[in-house]
Amino acid sequence: MTVLLRGLILHTPQNPFRTDRALEAFSDGGLALRDGQIVALGSFSEVRKQYPEAPVQDCREGVLLPGLVDTHVHYPQTRVIGAMGYSLLDWLEKRTLPLEARLSDNKLARELAREFVGLLLRNGTTTALVFGSHFQGATANLFGAAEDVGLRLIAGQICSDRMLRPELHTTPERSYAEQKMLIQRFHGRGKLRYAVTPRFALSASEGLLEVCQTLLQEHPDLHFTTHINENLEEIRTVAELFPWSRHYLHTYDRFGLVTERSVLAHNVHPTEPELARLAEARAAIAHCPSSNAFIGSGIFPMNRHLRHGVRFGLGSDVGGGTGFSLLKEGLMAYLAQRYAPEGVRLTPAHLLYLATLAGAEALGLGETVGSLTPGKAADVIWVKPEPGSALEVHFRHLDSAEDLLGSLFTLHGEAQVHQVWLEGRAAPLVF
């Protein structure tokens, strides 16, 4: 059955870093959904003519957007959000890893998994690349929870075999066996995909990175994700642990882990050769602006990434980040670039692109999601201003789509994700 959504529709089917006309807006727009796909987009009157019999859902209060894409978020860390006053390595040791160690308890893991996928959806995230758990059972729970609600999920069991805490350490042999089972069970099942996920080079021996390489060789369509160049002390430690490495990226590249299926989180302090190599390999960066500020990692050198042609999308990086909202990450990216000495002048179209299509492309899903182009999956969100809020005033009085988008990102805290469609089906937002 075809359904029509009517309302203000905004998306960025093109890259605003390359063209001035990337933002497409339909002030009284129509979006036709059928069999999980978008089948038409245009002015409401045009789309209505194509589907005169279809039922219409009136979404004229607020705005319809593509589902948001989070390229970096940690499933076990919802309850870590807000731990102030740390930098990366002491934040991990004192606040994050103790909680992650508790996910050996499957009951807790199941509860956190349900809570986590619910929070993604409530914030309008319909596709996510997720750091799983160090435990096989907990990671299986994450896949199960995503499947239950229909979230498009790429995730994997984290592997580490040093420098964290003993409960979180595996061995190369054990990690291989556990990951193999998860890959067989979940990779390619519905909307689930598997990502090989060493936590970071600091906590992975060469033997473990070799296991990651073997898994990617045995299953060339797997994804790969990890952290890189987030914090200066981390970078110094990695250089000591891999004395042969030319730079941080080399510790992954040596094992064949830097490809166009790789997403590396942060990259706040890259060298020029690393940027050149990332561009050459077509690997993508997950830019996590609120986390970079909150844990005090630094300001993302966006201009250098652009100059080299390195791809990047947005990541909430919960719980180093300040919450699940990618609208907020858009604003944080904007603010950080305003502070940076050679910051990029971002527009509302850039922010929407970074929160949607750029992320989809970083995950290799640019043909499937990230914009409302007909033929893509019907992953759509309806965002409304809170009654009585400043954002509502803006929605009533602004007439340029671009200004409205700017106010949506700026006043994101007054926006409510009212409804989410996953492949055309309305998802429940209360769990």
Ligand X SMILES: Nc1nc2[nH]cnc2c(=O)[nH]1
Nearer to Zn ion, 12 or 267 (CB): 267
The interface partner of residue 230, options being ligand X, Zn ion, none and the CB cut-off 5 to 8 Å by kind, is ligand X
Give the angle subtended at the CA of 62 by the CAs of 59 and 65, to the nearest 5°: 80
Binds Zn ion by CB under 5 A, chosen from 100, 234, 274, 317:
317
Cβ-contact 324, 120 below 8 angstroms: yes
Q: Does 100 bind Zn ion (CB under 5 A)?
A: no
Residues in CB range of 162: below 8 A, 6 or more apart? 169, 203, 204, 205
Within residues 261-320, the interface with ligand X by CB under 6 A covers 291, 317, 320
Task: Please report how close the Cβ of residue 425 comes to Zn ion at its closest, in angstroms.
Answer: 30
With CB atoms as reference, the residue minimizing the distance to ligand X is 320
The interface partner of residue 125, options being Zn ion, ligand X, none and the CB cut-off 5 to 8 Å by kind, is none
The pair of structure tokens assigned to 374 is 């007909």
Task: Please report how close the Cβ of residue 157 comes to ligand X at its closest, in angstroms.
Answer: 14
Give me the amino acid identity at 57.
Q
Binds ligand X by CB under 6 A, chosen from 70, 161, 178, 230:
230
Task: Please report how close the Cβ of residue 199 comes to Zn ion at its closest, in angstroms.
Answer: 9
Within residues 68-87, the interface with Zn ion by CB under 5 A covers none
The interface partner of residue 200, options being ligand X, Zn ion, none and the CB cut-off 5 to 8 Å by kind, is ligand X
The span from the CA of 340 to the CA of 302, in Å, is 9
Nearer to ligand X, 97 or 355 (CB): 97
Nearer to ligand X, 5 or 129 (CB): 129
Nearer to Zn ion, 130 or 265 (CB): 265
Assign 52 to helix, strand or coil: coil
Q: How far, CA to CA in Å, does 9 sit from each of 62, 372, 425?
A: 9, 9, 18
Within residues 246-265, the interface with Zn ion by CB under 5 A covers 265
Cross-strand bridge partners of residue 5: 31, 57
Task: Please report how close the Cβ of residue 416 comes to ligand X at its closest, in angstroms.
Answer: 28
Cβ-contact 152, 423 below 8 angstroms: no
How many other C-beta atoms lie within 10 A of the C-beta of residue 360?
26
Place of tokens 């970078």: 235
Task: Please report how close the Cβ of residue 52 comes to ligand X at its closest, in angstroms.
Answer: 51
Q: Does 96 bind ligand X (CB under 6 A)?
A: yes
Size of the site for ligand X (CB under 6 A): 11
Q: Does 329 bind Zn ion (CB under 5 A)?
A: no
Neighbour-count burial of 14, counting CB atoms closer than 10 A to its CB (0-12 exposed, 13-18 middle, 19+ buried): middle
Within residues 158-217, the interface with ligand X by CB under 6 A covers 199-200
Binds ligand X by CB under 6 A, chosen from 152, 187, 193, 227:
227
The span from the CA of 377 to the CA of 371, in Å, is 9
Nearer to Zn ion, 32 or 265 (CB): 265
The pair of structure tokens assigned to 115 is 């809570």
The span from the CA of 163 to the CA of 43, in Å, is 57
Within residues 27-86, the interface with ligand X by CB under 6 A covers 74
The interface partner of residue 109, options being Zn ion, ligand X, none and the CB cut-off 5 to 8 Å by kind, is none
Assign 284 to helix, strand or coil: strand
Q: Which DSSP category does 92 fall into?
A: I
Nearer to ligand X, 31 or 212 (CB): 212
Cβ-contact 157, 178 below 8 angstroms: yes
Nearer to ligand X, 98 or 374 (CB): 98
Cβ-contact 155, 127 below 8 angstroms: no
Assign 161 to helix, strand or coil: coil
Helix ranges (H only) for 187-256 are 206-218, 232-241, 248-253
Task: Please report how close the Cβ of residue 164 comes to ligand X at its closest, in angstroms.
Answer: 9
Within residues 75-94, the interface with ligand X by CB under 6 A covers 88, 92
Cβ-contact 284, 69 below 8 angstroms: no
Place of tokens 């042969």: 244
Nearer to ligand X, 12 or 229 (CB): 229
Nearer to ligand X, 201 or 381 (CB): 201
Residues that bind ligand X (CB under 6 A): 74, 88, 92, 96, 199-200, 227, 230, 291, 317, 320
Which residues form the interface with Zn ion (CB under 5 A)?
A: 265, 317
